[in-house]
Amino acid sequence: MTSLAVSDHQAETAAPAKAIQPVWVRMVHWINAFAMILMIMSGWQIYNASPLFGFTFSRSITLGGWLGGALLWHFAAMWLLMVNGLVYLALGFATGRFRKKLLPITPGGVIADTKAALTFKLSHDDLSKYNSVQKLLYAGIIIVGVVIVLSGLSMWKPVQLHWLVSLFGGYDFARYIHFTCMALIVAFLVIHVALALLVPKSLRAMIIGR
């Protein structure tokens, strides 16, 4: 009885489990998701005003109603995304999260985890650790995010930031790079949401942290 009482007392006084996703990660994640959706939908409306390819996006999935309105939405969301992104990068490096979560990334690990994922054998028991595929996707999307912001800035202020325009090979080429980055982000979001639906506890962790 005594040992049982001691065990119960230890269980009651034990420290709560450490959060899988810290508060700051969850905050920047959802702010980023909101800002990104606004930018994508308004960006599609801007694209429709001067298409790069032989198609346009349905008005039902665009934001702004017309070019001027879409630009207003796009620039408003741009500042939210930039500030939120800078906070994420600063905290990610300062806390060592990027180093702990995203490194190392090895070709062998990526190939092995990709095969496991395709055969539905990839384990999701420990949500505090990313597999090699997740590391590659998350690290890659950070780089894509930086490129899409810089290419967007070069298109927004092509005269003032002429050196940035030159870095992208000219204004027209910057548009193609911007569009390509957008497509990569949309593909990432589709995969991200699909995995969250397949592994619901990962979504719960991003909401409540545990």
Task: Write out the chain's pLDDT in tens, 210 residues.
Answer: 444 444 444 444 444 556 677 888 889 999 999 999 999 999 999 999 999 999 999 999 999 999 999 999 999 999 999 999 999 999 999 999 989 888 888 999 889 888 887 787 776 666 668 888 888 999 999 999 999 999 999 999 999 999 999 999 999 999 999 999 999 999 999 988 887 787 777 777 777 767
Residue that finishes a domain, picked among 73, 95, 117:
95
**Contacts of 92 by beta carbon, 8 Å cutoff, 6+ apart:** 98
Question: What's the half-sphere exposure (Cβ side, CA atoms, 13 Å) at 19?
Answer: 12
Both 81 and 169 in a single domain? no
In a domain, 10, yes or no: no
Both 104 and 121 in a single domain? yes
**Are 105 and 131 in contact, with CB atoms under 8 Å apart?**
no
pTM greater than 0.75: yes
Residue that finishes a domain, picked among 95, 110, 134:
95
Both 148 and 134 in a single domain? yes
Residue that finishes a domain, picked among 63, 95, 127:
95
Domain extent, residue 180, equals: 100-210
Q: How far does the chain reach from its first CA to its final CA, in angstroms?
A: 33
d(CA 195, CA 113): 14
Q: Is 137 left (phi over 0), alpha (psi -120 to 50) or beta?
A: alpha
In a domain, 12, yes or no: no
